[in-house]
């Protein structure tokens, strides 16, 4: 069981959260969120934030490079909202790439993907070299997190829906 306010693990005997003091509830979302967190635990690079702007926010900084004459940052983010009345999890995700200045001296990027209008599957792999050597080196599977979350949600007997607008998966 997890605190519905901050995500702190709790036992069934706890009346209040030991971290934030929130009262323990018999919230239908708790077992689903716990199943998602457990399923994502083999991916320690993911940061999970509970109940701030969505029931769960997931993020990962794929690259953050500064080579003097330029910068480049690549971030994965996702959020999900659980609707107990319809037992549906609404899931949104994106990869954001930002940069400025002169690009790296040499950059190699291979990307293969397919999309069906709401989801993207495939991989992206990038290596870039600046004046001091390698500055970017990452590989990302577009569907990895979504598939893990969807499997955990369906195993709990809930429906899973990918949405295009972040607002549908957040408060």
- Domain carrying residue 127: 29-169
Q: What's the mean pLDDT in 114-131?
A: 88
Residue 23 has pLDDT above 80, yes or no: no
Q: What is the dihedral of CA 50, 54, 58, 60, to 10 degrees?
A: -110
Q: Is residue 44 part of a domain?
A: yes
The encoded tokens of residue 30 equal 């708790």
- Of 15-19, 38-42, 94-98, 118-122, least confident by mean pLDDT is 15-19
Q: Is residue 23 part of a domain?
A: no
Structurally, the chain folds into a number of domains equal to 1
Other Cβ atoms within 10 Å of 121 Cβ, number:
15
Q: Is residue 14 part of a domain?
A: no
Non-local CB neighbours of 38 within 8 Å, separated by 6+ positions: 152
Q: Is residue 20 part of a domain?
A: no
Instruction: Look over the chain and give the mean of its residue pLDDT values, rounded to a whole number.
Output: 89
How confident is the model over 34-80, as pLDDT tens digits? Answer: 899 999 999 999 999 988 899 999 999 999 998 888 899 999 999 99
Q: What is the pLDDT of residue 112?
A: 92
């Amino acid at each position: 069981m997890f605190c519905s306010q901050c995500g702190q693990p709790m036992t069934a005997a706890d009346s209040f959260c030991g971290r934030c003091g929130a009262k323990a509830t018999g919230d239908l979302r708790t077992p689903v969120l716990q199943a998602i967190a457990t399923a994502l635990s083999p991916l320690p690079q993911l940061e999970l934030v509970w109940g701030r702007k969505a029931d769960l926010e997931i993020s990962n900084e794929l690259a953050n490079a500064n080579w003097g004459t330029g910068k480049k940052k690549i971030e994965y983010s996702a959020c999900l909202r659980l609707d107990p009345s319809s037992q549906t999890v609404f899931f949104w995700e994106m990869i954001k790439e930002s940069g400025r200045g002169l690009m790296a001296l040499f950059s190699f990027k291979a990307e293969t993907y397919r999309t069906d209008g709401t989801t993207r599957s495939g991989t992206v792999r990038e290596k870039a070299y600046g004046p001091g050597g390698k500055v970017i080196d990452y590989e990302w599977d577009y569907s990895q997190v979504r598939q893990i979350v969807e499997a955990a949600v369906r195993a709990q007997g809930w429906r899973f829906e990918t949405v295009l607008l972040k607002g549908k998966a957040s408060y």
